[in-house]
Structure 1
């Protein structure tokens, strides 16, 4: 049967014929699609069939781009978060400094008002650091001999007596706090003018009134002010308030504890009251008359 087939079916059209046929067909399809949209439906069907292949082909590239974008975004977010955290810490530090400055300004205003009502002139001094003795209650301030500071001057704040200058250097001075162990201040009860002495018992401890009989007219809540009989502390300066009075049967003395009115462990500034004027001397003791007959 193959031997009887015409030559046309055995060899097919010549290459030139094929080119002309396919070229004509292509031109016809182009013209028909351009003017009559003949292949739009075909393209839609082909695009649907090819979409999975396109997705598979582009998936690695898209995944790489998304991963790169995600990592870049994460890096930007970490940097932004770090910057915001630094700004927050800076703002908190500024807020704390502002709050501290406001408290310090309020304290300075209170000191200024207190100095205007004191019987003597006073100087504003800044606390530099605590004394070297870890068992004592002392402070070092920034005023010394060059500023006219002398031993015995009284240190106080807006609420009351803080202590007394016990050592003076050219540029600094050492202030012994009223809470220092063994330090004593002559005081009197503001309510009834009962005179006594208040003693320090340690920096972190309350003050004490010693050697008071159990029937002494003193009670919790009484305010103790300087009596002025020592010639060092001017009278009327607030010192402490009585916090506890214990009267034990069989005891010769009452146990009286007091809380300082001044902020002895607070603030950064103190007032150093100028020393008092020279007091008149003690009267001379007359010689003891000798017995007659000698």
Structure 2
């Protein structure tokens, strides 16, 4: 036990002080990747078995809902060409820089971190696919997090709910900018330094502001769930809930925001991404109108 304590202390010291430990960690992750894939097989098998034994009525209802969503998406896609041209003309009139297309690749979930104090997961894409540290990760609803370490065949993702993660955001309604910080708990974020007199409301949509250059502008991050204005302090306490399905998503998109690392395929326009993200929240905007 004493030997293990000494070895653990040395490894912690080396991890903090020596840069070569990052390479060692990447090599170890490469070796462990096949084990992680094998460990994930029972969960995949159970998922397939559960799907095969699902109630037929539930499947019919789910199929109906998917058809309705597909119909909604088709209707919006039909308007995409016209809206895109209108957007280009308006930007030309305003002399604004056009939005760049963002390349992407798909990735699947391998495993979640079992540490209750960490909000991290491992996906099945690595250096072989061009993945890099700091790369944004999204699902079908919104921002999931960013890559923090990469091995040859897998990568570790830091979720936006982790206590060490922060992302610059802005209120979609009025453009006010803040920093959304993870609370270290699933399904919860907080906003830093929000003055009591700020025009912020429950239900406001927060999107990435794009200020740091790491996360592209306009991707949904969270919705304001609770505001507590304290008369005795200059700042309000604001809680927000992530829009991404962090507890159930198994498929993700890795966005290539660095020019030198962009792949030659999988090009997708920002307008198409925005339209697709709106489909997972059908009826919200229509209800407001």
**Per-residue deviation, 1:153:** 0.8
Q: Map Cα deviations across residues 244-265 of structure 1 (whole Å, 9 max, x no partner).
A: 1110111121000101111011
CA contact (8 A) 2:187 2:246 kept: no
Tell me the residue number matched to 1:216: 198
Q: 1:95 aligns with which of 35, 53, 62?
A: 53
Match of 1:188 among 170, 190, 196: 170
Structure 1 pair 93–264 and aligned structure 2 pair: CA distance change class (3 A): closer
What TM-score comes out, normalization by structure 2 length?
A: 0.56
- SS of 1:220's partner is coil
Poorly superposed stretches of 4+, deviation over 6 Å: 97-100
Q: Does 1:229 align with 2:211?
A: yes
Tell me, which stretches of 5 or more residues in structure 2 are unaligned?
1-48, 81-99, 261-289
2:188 is aligned, of 206, 222, 225, to: 206
Structure of higher CA gyration radius: 1
Structure 2 residue aligned with 1:158, among 140, 147, 170? 140
Distance 1:92 1:123 in 2: 28
Deviation, 1:267, is: 2.0
The more displaced of 186-195 and 124-133 is: 124-133
- Higher relative contact order, chain-length normalized (CA < 8 Å, sep 6+): 2
Query: 1:200, CA displacement in angstroms?
Result: 0.4
Pairs aligned (count): 179
Cα deviations by residue, 1:120-159 (Å, 9 ceiling, x for unpaired): 1111111000125331000100000011100111110111
Q: Which has the higher strand share?
A: 2
Distance 1:133 1:229, change over 3 A: same
Kept after mapping to 1: 8 A contact 2:104/2:254: yes
Aligned-residue CA RMSD (Å) = 2.8
TM-score relative to the length of structure 1: 0.56
- 1:134 maps onto 2:116 in alignment: yes
CA contact (8 A) 1:238 1:261 kept: yes
| Separation in 2, partners of 1:219, 1:126 | 35
Structure 2 counterparts to residues 263-282 of structure 1, below 5 A: 263-277=245-259
